[in-house]
Amino acid sequence: MTGTTSRAPRPAADSALVLPRYLRDPEEQRTPLAYPGYKSTGLRAPLRTPVDLPHRLTEVTGPVLGEDRVLPTDADLTLRMGGEAQGQRIIVFGRVLDSDGRPVPDALVEVWQANAGGRYRHVVDNWPAPLDPHFDGLGRVITDSLGRYEFTTIKPGAYPWGNHHNAWRPAHIHFSLFGQAFTQRLVTQMYFPGDPLFEQDPIYNAIPPSARYRAISRFDLDRTQDNWALAYQWDIVLRGKDQTPFETDDDGDVA
Amino acid sequence: MSSPHISPLVQAANEENDRVPGIPRRGSGFLDGPLRLATTPSATVGPYLAIGLTWPDGPYAAAEGTEGAIWLRGRVFDGRGDLVPDAMIETWQADPDGRFAHPDDPRGGQTVPGFRGFARSDTVDGGQYAVHTLKPGPVPDGEGGLQAPHVDVSVFARGLLDRVVTRIYFADEAEANAADPVLASLPDDESRGTLVAQRSEDGYVLDIHLQDCTDKGMVETVFFAV
């Protein structure tokens, strides 16, 4: 970066502003904002119908966050503060794709989670499960050219919360992804297969039934590491572009 | 049953429950249209988002000391009129020339050194957010007109199962705001007013109301489906 990046050779003619459009899944496939079983949505989910926002430049662009956000050690959550975290070591890996099946490279993936006992390192979380001095629950990676990511971590424990009598969150890892456009921003949670706590969990059940399995990772025996770690695969799909209308160069090539 | 070489999502896309209506699919022997994967469902950030989503430079869309930088500040309120202490906002915007530092800006994005157009600020300090940035310039609307200077905003919080999206416009851009196609698409001045930040000592302020709170006269912010 010299700070003297030259401007584009073309003038900013509006005819050049043919923009990709990011497709939305149908409403019945998406998590609704209001879900009565999850009490906190009551005073926080907006009541009015959202206004459709056409996709303009602000929406089809998005933050480009590079390697400078990530340290090599951020991919391994089990080695922090001079020691090893307690619990079942796991590898969580997968690909970030768009809905056309294309990989999303260079995407920042941020994760955060509870420790093996189901407790977060956060001042507000003070239920009587032990804190692990060697687990802070934070990880970050950038996807490679094929959209792949991988973390080594500890299987998080279930934990109680005050939503209803004997409410317990199924084990989960929080994920945050940027993709390449404002429209692709996603915050979600990854679950583990066969969790007996799904049935009573309103955050899981707020997901439409036909979409729930997409939030559950897959145990992968082939990717376990002998004498070391179990492995779970979870692919993440961000919104894809409509039949992308690329702009045309002067020579007629598609830019 | 499942091959380790094929992504489970691609396999699952053949299942009945993963179809996006109107999109043809494999199964008949012919692929008569695009195979579209359904997106991963969103979920709340929960109350402990500060563990994973806090950066030391998070609030700085413009680096400290950038000439002409302003602070965008505001509070986030719930439907009872209480401050939301565990929310996070993220902002994305053009630079003062109306350009984005992104390959999909076909004019060739150029930004001021030290300006990245993106910021995130959580509201742990009593429900207030603060973003250090530059005021954006007008942005072409793709139809020969201009959009008024604006900032796209995402709000995340416990109790929000997906982010909600809004925009910040600027009160001292009355003329540009009057011609802005997005503001013009809103039903009334009260709605438009929920998006317009007012001048303050060090920049602009705009509160965000996740819900109407009629007994305190607070009007729900306009949120957008993107």
CATH architecture of B56-216: Sandwich (2.60)
DSSP 8-state symbol, B192 = H
Local confidence band at B32 (pLDDT 50, 70, 90 cut-offs): low
ipTM metric: 0.89
Q: Name the nearest CA neighbour of B136 among B147, B146, B150, B122.
A: B150
Q: Which residue has the higher pLDDT, A185 or B30?
A: A185
* pLDDT > 80? residue B34: no
CA distance A237 to A98: 5
In a domain, A113, yes or no: yes
- Torsion angle, CA of B212/B213/B217/B220, rounded to 10 degrees? -20
User: pLDDT, tens digit, for every residue of B124-145?
Assistant: 778 999 999 999 999 998 888 9
In a domain, A53, yes or no: no
- SS in 3 state form for B171-197? CCCHHHHHCCHHHHCCCCHHHHHCCEE
In a domain, A243, yes or no: no
User: In this complex, is the C-beta atom of B157 within 8 Å of any C-beta atom belonging to chain A?
Assistant: yes
Q: pLDDT value at position A13? A: 44
Place of tokens 């008949």: B28
A to B CB pairs, distance under 8 Å? 286
Query: Residue B54 has which token pair?
Result: 């806090």
Decide if B167 contacts A85 (C-beta within 8 A).
no
Q: Tell me the mean pLDDT in the region B102-128.
A: 86
The SS3 assignment for B33 reads coil
Are B139 and A58 an interchain contact pair (Cβ–Cβ within 8 Å)?
yes
Local confidence band at A36 (pLDDT 50, 70, 90 cut-offs): very high
CA distance B173 to B153: 19
In a domain, A164, yes or no: yes
State the Rg of chain B over Cα.
21
User: pLDDT, tens digit, for every residue of A187-207?
Assistant: 999 999 999 999 999 999 999
User: In this complex, is the C-beta atom of A254 within 8 Å of any C-beta atom belonging to chain B?
Assistant: no
DSSP 8-state symbol, B51 = H
Which CATH number is A136's domain given? Answer: 2.60.130.10
In a domain, A7, yes or no: no
User: pLDDT, tens digit, for every residue of A55-79?
Assistant: 999 999 999 898 889 999 999 999 9
Length of chain A in residues, anyone? 255
Q: pLDDT value at position A248? A: 42
Task: Return the domain boundaries, chain B.
Answer: 56-216
Name the active-site residue from A169, A191, A232, A239: A169
In a domain, A144, yes or no: yes
Beta bridge partners of A152: A76, A91
CA distance A89 to A66: 28
Q: Name the nearest CA neighbour of A118 among A88, A156, A153.
A: A156
Please provide residue A14's backbone torsions phi and psi, each rounded to the nearest 5 degrees. Answer: -65, -25
Q: How many structural domains is chain A composed of?
A: 1
The answer to whether A35 is a known catalytic residue is: no
Q: Which helix (H) or strand (E) holds B178?
A: helix B174-178
| Domain containing residue A107 | 67-234
